[in-house]
Amino acid sequence: MEPSTWRTYLVTQASIAEDRSTPEVVRAAIEGGIDAVQLREKETNARSRYELGLELRELTAEAGVDLIVNDRVDIAEAINADGVHVGQSDLPVSVARDLLGPEAIVGCSASTVEEARRAEADGADYLGVGSVYGTTSKDVPEAENGIGPERIAEVVKSVSIPVVGIGGTTAGNAGPVAEAGAAGVAVISEIAAADDPAAATDALARTVETAKDLERRE
């Protein structure tokens, strides 16, 4: 799949999934119609992340879902993931591209128009822009926390690559993010911590698709 077609994007984090394993959450998200999965699990060591990645690769490949690895280009290559997602303090987009090749999907986090334009110029295929509504899943500088759908719209207008909104997004507030021009939304707790991850994924997808329909008609 192309990032422009991603409506729902799950970022994994076992620590908030209660008694469910990451593969169980991913399997349920696939059942609910997830478009892309990012292996994050930063609290685990490289060996554990690699072994988990192999399991997720099998699940996602069978379902035709894109698998992206957060930060670790070496793990992405080792498990034959579809790509990697890097932040502003990780390996540069251009280096990740050189290491993984032209066919890999390389995403980059951005919170400003300047960062977004630089990532696109360096060869990013898509942007993860946020934190849209604020997040507690990771430490984010105050200036980058809760940037709102307005910043999403600014970034979308400044680049030609797809934008995925992330940070505090839920089925209840994803609509304005999609209406601002984002291809879709990325979530952690909305799916991983849900009582029913499959139903949560489906609800999120419906919200985004409804908003995209409104955007197309305007």
Q: Which residues are annotated as catalytic? A: 40, 109, 138
Give, rounded to a whole angstrom, the gap between the first and last alpha carbons of the chain: 26
Do the beta carbons of residue 97 and residue 106 sit within 8 Å? Answer: yes
Do the beta carbons of residue 77 and residue 53 sit within 8 Å? Answer: no
Do the beta carbons of residue 93 and residue 124 sit within 8 Å? Answer: yes
CA–CA distances in Å: residue 8 to residues 165, 204, 216: 10, 7, 18
Bridge partner residues of 125 (DSSP):
none
The alpha carbon of residue 78 and the mean position of all alpha carbons in its chain are separated, in whole angstroms, by 20
How far apart are alpha carbons 54 and 51 in whole angstroms?
Answer: 5
